[in-house]
Homo-oligomer: A and B are copies of this chain.
Amino acid sequence: MMIERYSQILVEFFERMNSWEHGIVADRGISLPQMHLLEVVGNHGQIRMKDLASRMGVTTGTLTVMAHRLVTKGYLVKEKDPEDNRSSFVTLSVKGRREYEMHHHLHGHLIEEIVSFLGDERAASFFKDLEEIRELM
């Protein structure tokens, strides 16, 4: 039965990706959730704490703690919104941006490998499928 087989492929793909990601992040002294935060801020630019929490899928309580750690370690800058004193914005520091770029570059490198392995046409159809499946979930 194909269902069983496909199921296993998907699960193992997910695990592999997880450990790939973990591997490239671990020796830089950053955790996966921390890198994820840097990624979201890097992609978005200046972002409100509230919005960041919602994009990351964590509560604001969780984010308060995480962001504070990253500010302390020098990856993140946090500033009050002068228009609304309840609110804060975070951005990447120079150090944070360097880390983000490096990570982003590694992603790009992986994609290049995939494309060069599949060839342009198959790659296009693969990523199209992947995108549509994402919508499906």
A81 is an interface residue with CB less than 8 A from chain B? no
Interface on chain A toward B: helix, strand, loop, or mixed SS? helix
Are A137 and B4 in contact (CB-based, < 8 A)? Answer: no
Q: Report if A65 contacts B (CB, 8 A).
A: no
A94 at the interface (CB under 8 A from B): no
Contacts of A10 in B (CB 8 A): 107, 110-111, 127, 130
Q: A-side interface residues toward B, CB under 8 Å?
A: 2-7, 9-14, 16-17, 19-21, 39, 57, 104, 107-108, 110-115, 117-118, 122-127, 129-134, 136-137
Sample 24 A-B pairs with CB under 8 A, ordered by A number. A2-B124, A3-B111, A3-B112, A5-B127, A6-B114, A7-B104, A7-B107, A9-B131, A9-B134, A10-B107, A10-B110, A10-B111, A10-B127, A11-B39, A13-B134, A114-B136, A117-B132, A117-B133, A118-B133, A122-B125, A122-B129, A125-B125, A126-B126, A126-B129
